[in-house]
Amino acid sequence: MRVTSAISVLALATTAFSKEKPKDLRLGVELYDSGIMMDSIMQEKLSYWQSQLESGAMRAAQWPKLGYAECVDGFAIPIAGDPAHKFRCKNTDLYSFINHADLGAASGRGSSSWGWTDPLSGREFIASGAYEGTALLEITNVGQLVKLGFLPSFSPIGPNSVWHEIRSYKNFMLIGSELAGHGIQIFDMSKLLIIDPAEPVMFDNIVGSGLHGHVDFLPEGSTHNVVVNEEKSYAVAVGTRPRAATSRCRGGLYFIDLTDPSKPTDLGCDPQDGYVHDAQCLVYHGPDTKYEGIDICYGYNEDTLTIYNVTDKNASKIISRTSYTGVAFTHQGWVLDTKNQSFIVLDDELDESRGIGEAAAGYPITYIWDISSLESPKQTGTYKGTQKAVDHNQYVIDGLSYQSNYGAGLREEPVLHSSGR
């Protein structure tokens, strides 16, 4: 999805009705608070991946390393005469490809990735999640991927995890996992600055050696995702277990003090709206002057957009909790402008596959929210993709929303459809 600026989003939000609605408490308890919806998503993905394993598609070593290929007449062809490595493209060149096996993950299964740029040298690095752990790479100044190291998963019961989620805090990467006992690894990316690519390093999970720090106090030691507020020096684990109503945190926002990343500490949690699948936490600057300068978290909570005042981590408060027409699984979202928090773009992971609302035809729908009132957010419009897919994470940079759609590839799309108020 391409959003050229906040002005183009305003243009999508001009007709005379809204689609927000109160949370359906009965369905909330039966389908979401119970974990049924989340469990169904995980089982569908695991079943699909198993079929891919059995078909041989995930034998990563079969895919050779690829270098630069210019996009010419709609195709990038890094290996001349090889139709297996001929990629459709438009205005985008292929620079580099490395398979997961070469990175240290023989299973061929990857997950989340995040980047870090050294502020002194400008060198760019990536932490790339995989079944076996996290690969550590550099993007050279000519756009090539170079392996520098590998950090295995942290777990007392086994090394492998289908899901890793990674976020940065200063020069550190925080690596969470659904794997029980994994906790959150804190890795110092500046270690990569002195590694010779000819001798990649296998890091260990010892704090003070391979790890800079380790969050070992999460319930059951697992988290679906990790969120960071760098300005306020804290992280948030979301989607922890257990999520039962009788548990302390219920899978809600779980706050972690990063003042000293080598010794992260527990700041408290918020169980009020139960399980939080993803979130964005930042200091509020926007039109709602009542909350100017307040520490805010926007929570994507399976069936609602839930906005929190998290100034007091032991007693955070829900500002609003709002559902919307077409809700199936509120997955993730991002504010369009952190310096003027007036709009959010939100993705729902199940509306396409379940054939709900505007996504019934299978084209990904991005929901556009006017959050100029944090106490009364309005779902004011939508963006409809032009390729059938399932929309997933999106992040906004300089007015563009970069949204990872399952099966659709990287694409810059025109605004072809909108509805709303």
Q: Token digits for 346?
A: 């939100």
Residue 407 lies in a domain: yes
Cβ proximity of 256 and 234 under 8 Å: yes
282 falls within a domain: no
Specify if 1 maps to a domain. Answer: yes
Q: In what order do the strands lie in the sheet with 124-130?
A: 110-117, 124-130, 133-139, 145-152, 201-202
pTM: 0.92
Share of the chain above pLDDT 70, in %: 92
Last residue of a domain, one of 226, 260, 294: 260
If DSSP codes are grouped into helix, strand and coil, which group holds residue 66? strand
Question: Residue 421 has what pLDDT?
Answer: 39
- Distance, CA of 258 to CA of 97 (rounded, Å): 34
Q: Long-range contacts for 28-33 (Cβ within 8 Å, ≥24 apart)? A: 28/303, 31/303, 32/274, 32/275, 32/301, 32/302, 32/303, 33/243, 33/245, 33/274, 33/275
Contact yes or no for 319/309 (Cβ under 8 A): yes
Q: Are 212 and 263 in contact (CB under 8 A)?
A: no
Residues 104 and 231 in one domain: yes
**Which residue, 172, 288, 180, 187, is CA-closest to 234?**
172
311-358 tens-digit pLDDT: 999 999 999 999 999 999 999 999 999 999 999 999 999 999 999 999
Whether 230 maps to a domain, the answer reads yes
Question: Looking at the structure, do residues 30 and 130 belong to the same domain, yes or no?
Answer: no
In a domain, 126, yes or no: yes
Both 237 and 344 in a single domain? no
- Based on the domain organization, do 254 and 105 belong to the same domain? yes
SS3 for 290?
Answer: helix
**DSSP code, position 212:** S
Tell me the pLDDT band of 159, cut-offs 50, 70 and 90. low
Q: Examine residue 335 and state whether it is found in any structural domain, yes or no.
A: yes
What's the total number of domains in the chain?
2
* Contact yes or no for 189/116 (Cβ under 8 A): yes
Whether the bond between 264 and the residue before it is cis, its omega within 30 degrees of 0, is no
Q: Do residues 236 and 118 share a domain?
A: yes
* Closest CA relative to residue 329, chosen from 368, 299, 300, 288: 300
Q: Is 354 found in the same domain as 226?
A: no
- Residue type at 162 in one-letter notation: V
Per residue in 275-291, pLDDT tens?
A: 999 999 999 999 999 99
Domain limit, last residue, from 245, 260, 275: 260
Check: CB of residue 332 under 8 Å from CB of residue 393. Answer: yes
Q: Is residue 272 part of a domain?
A: no
Interatomic CA distance for residues 410 and 259, integer angstroms? 37
Helix (H) or strand (E) holding 99: none
The dihedral region occupied by 346, where left means phi > 0, alpha psi between -120 and 50, and beta the remainder, is: beta
How large a percentage of the chain has pLDDT more than 90? 73
Are 320 and 377 in contact by the 8 Å Cβ rule? The answer is yes
Distance CA 165, CA 159 (A): 15
Terminal-to-terminal C-alpha distance of the chain: 20
Q: Which of 259, 246, 277 is nearest to 313 (CA)?
A: 259
Q: What average pLDDT score do residues 166-191 get? A: 97
Q: Is the pLDDT of residue 420 over 50?
A: no
Distance between CA 77 and CA 82 in Å, rounded?
A: 8
- Pairing status of strand 145-152 against strand 201-202: parallel
Closest C-alpha to 345, from 67, 26, 70, 5: 5
Which band of pLDDT confidence, cut at 50, 70 and 90, is reported for residue 25?
Answer: low
Q: Please say whether the beta carbons of 152 and 179 come within 8 A.
A: no
Q: Are 128 and 220 in the same domain? A: yes
Range of the domain at 114: 59-63+99-260
**Dihedrals phi, psi of 277, to nearest 5 degrees:** -80, -35
Same domain, 151 and 252: yes
Written as six digits, the tokens of 252 are 């809600």
Instruction: Name residue 21's beta-bridge partners.
Output: 323
Final residue belonging to a domain, choices 238, 260, 282 = 260
Helix H or strand E segment including 417: none
Stretch among 211-220, 303-312, 385-394 having the lowest mean pLDDT = 385-394
Query: Are 252 and 110 members of one domain?
Result: yes
330, 222: one domain? no
Regarding whether 149 and 225 lie in a shared domain, the answer is yes
**Residue 185: exposed, middle, or buried by beta-carbon count in 10 A (0-12, 13-18, 19+)?**
buried
Note the pLDDT of residue 414.
60
Tell me if 307 sits within 8 A of 299, measured CB to CB. yes
Examine the domain organization and report whether 103 and 31 are in the same domain: no
Q: Is the pLDDT of residue 415 over 60?
A: no
* 307 belongs to a structural domain: no
Half-sphere exposure of 114 (CA within 13 A, CB side): 23
